[in-house]
Amino acid sequence: MQQSRNVVVLDILPASAHRYIDCFTQVYTRLKETCTYNSYSSIDSTLHCIERLGGV
């Protein structure tokens, strides 16, 4: 039930929001692959990715 509701929300998001979601997913995946979780580095990576996408 909860998942289908999330899908509907994603469907109505603008394209720019999808880029941010993709970015967060990439950062999260990269952290999982390295098997080292550092909250500060993850925040830095996410902010850097957002900056590359054109800022907030």
Q: What is the pLDDT of residues 1-56, one digit of tens each?
A: 444 455 555 566 677 777 888 878 887 777 666 655 555 566 677 677 767 766 44
Rg (CA), the chain: 13
The answer to whether residues 27 and 42 touch, using CB atoms and an 8 Å cutoff, is yes
Per-residue confidence (pLDDT) for residue 40, from 0 to 100: 59
* pTM of the entire predicted model: 0.35
Per-residue confidence (pLDDT) for residue 9, from 0 to 100: 56
Per-residue confidence (pLDDT) for residue 53, from 0 to 100: 67
* Domain count along the chain: 1
- Which residue type occupies 18? H
CA atoms within 13 A on the CB side of 13: 14
Domain containing 37: what range? Answer: 2-53
Per-residue confidence (pLDDT) for residue 24, from 0 to 100: 80
* Burial degree of 50 (CB within 10 A; 0-12, 13-18, 19+): middle
Per-residue confidence (pLDDT) for residue 56, from 0 to 100: 44
